[in-house]
Structure 1
Amino acid sequence: MGRESMRPLPAVIDVEIRTRDVVLEGMLALPDTPSGLVVFAHGSGSSRFSRRNRDVAEAMQAAGLGTLLFDLLSAEENTRDRVTAEHRFDIALLARRLTDTVDWLGQEAATRALRIGLFGASTGAAAALITAAERLQRVDAVVSRGGRPDLAGDALGRVRAPTLLIVGGWDPEVIALNAQAARQLTCAHRTAIVPDATHLFEEPGKLEQVSRLAAAWFATYLAATDSRGAR
């Protein structure tokens, strides 16, 4: 996906997302006529400023998709979590914050009409799948990048949004956990194994492969009139 063939990147706007218990900080980018909006749910120890997440978000934007990068934890919680790691594996908390964010997007004039995709990494993938199960009418596609979809538990069987599981070929444990989760999914789904890559996809060219796979998935299902058949 050559950047030279894509449209210019949109401006990024700082936003405050009001959830039921805290205000979260985010960065919203919307092309002039977005074909959908991809909401990022990052994993353990990451943030909206992660270079990996921002690189993937820019690839989405260049493909005509809007993006929302935001922190699932407040600044105070994030500071505490760096020391204690008490929140990053609290899947229920992460999923609740993500669900609140999807609801917030449905109330905002600039985003309420957009079809929503969720891009989850690490534990954020489990949160994305739980939110997809909780908001069947609002979430239209899910992508997991090196994620732990198995941690979504019973929610997996309730997901209706088409789901892409992307796993690094050098990550056999996570491959096995993704295969376990895939067996519980009843929605349209696919597993893509990126060869010669670890779960962070830090090897040369691997994150670009992830971006291409994810952008194609979202472009297909967010642009569709109805990605899952009759609702």
Structure 2
Amino acid sequence: MNTSTLVHIPVDGVTVEGMLDIPEHALGLVLFAHGSGSSRHSPRNNYVAGVLREAGVGTLLMDLLTPEEDRDVAQRFDIGLLTQRLLAAARWAHGQPIARGLPLGFFGASTGAAAAIEAAALLGADAAAVVSRGGRPDLASRAALANVSAPTLLLVGGWDDGVIELNQQAYDQLACEKELGIVPGATHLFEEPGTLEQVAQQAALWFAGHFAPIPHA
């Protein structure tokens, strides 16, 4: 049985809205960082989140920008701002009784992938795993790419020209446990039949395989 709750997360004087879903006996919690122009209502990320929950992983889908902020294209690419919002959401989630003690992971798409890597680098051992879907991890700082310790999976479509090379550049700078997965026959949005399913299954395996219970003090 899932516990699904519409949540409001106060951060930077604004309120970030999200949907928190925690399966019974959850293995961990994954925070979703959406890409430029997307939202927590994204059908693709909601599909992936559903597969994660079937695998026993909790999810928090949220809008890192308010509707007003999202109308400013520059803010969609403000990796520093997105990272701070993601960190605030992580702190908020760990303060919720239903999520307390759960290992934490990040799932980033497009520009959200850079924010996920930056957040994981800052959290250090408190971040358990990162997955990027068609992301731009190359937009993360060199310091973050070098310092992130959470096992990181970069998933890219085989027909996503240009983005494969950018992911390879970021992959080469990662010093953590890492994997670069190319999904054959997929373009940037993984709209081709069966490709998003592959992303979701690989993400679920990655998170479930790297989540281990955090011992209570």
The TM-score with structure 1 as length reference comes to 0.89
Question: Deviation per CA, 1:196-215, whole angstroms, max 9, x where unpaired?
Answer: 00111010111000000000
Where 2:112 maps in the other structure, the secondary structure is helix
- Counterpart AA for 2:30: V
Match of 1:59 among 47, 51, 60: 51
C-alpha spacing 1:157/1:39, structure 2 compared with 1 (3 Å): same
Partners of 1:223 and 1:104 in 2: CA distance: 20
Match of 1:72 among 64, 78, 81: 64
Q: Which runs of 4 or more aligned residues in structure 1 lie more than 4 Å from their structure 2 counterparts after TM superposition? A: none
Where 2:124 maps in the other structure, the secondary structure is coil
Q: Give how far 1:183 is off.
A: 0.9
Match of 1:134 in 2: 122
Which structure carries more strand by proportion?
2
1:114-193 counterparts in 2 under 5 A? 114-154=102-142, 155-193=144-182
Contact 1:125–1:147, Cα closer than 8 Å, also in 2: yes
Match of 2:92 among 104, 124, 127: 104
Where 1:172 maps in the other structure, the secondary structure is coil
Partners of 2:18 and 2:159 in 1: CA distance: 32
Q: Give how far 1:224 is off.
A: 6.7
The TM-score with structure 2 as length reference comes to 0.95
- Counterpart AA for 1:222: F
Partners of 1:225 and 1:74 in 2: CA distance: 32
C-alpha spacing 1:128/1:196, structure 2 compared with 1 (3 Å): same
2:3 is the alignment partner of 1:16: no
Partners of 1:11 and 1:104 in 2: CA distance: 17
Partners of 1:121 and 1:61 in 2: CA distance: 18
Contact 1:26–1:48, Cα closer than 8 Å, also in 2: yes
CA RMSD after TM alignment:
1.4
Q: Give how far 1:225 is off.
A: 7.0
Match of 1:30 among 22, 27, 30: 22
Where 1:26 maps in the other structure, the secondary structure is strand
Contact 1:145–1:167, Cα closer than 8 Å, also in 2: yes
Alignment coverage as a number of residue pairs:
214
Where 1:117 maps in the other structure, the secondary structure is strand
Unaligned runs of 5+ in 1: 1-7, 227-231
Partners of 1:20 and 1:88 in 2: CA distance: 16
- Counterpart AA for 2:191: E
Match of 1:229 in 2: none
Q: Give how far 1:219 is off.
A: 0.5
Unaligned runs of 5+ in 2: none
C-alpha spacing 1:225/1:111, structure 2 compared with 1 (3 Å): closer
Partners of 2:69 and 2:134 in 1: CA distance: 24
Report % sequence identity. 55
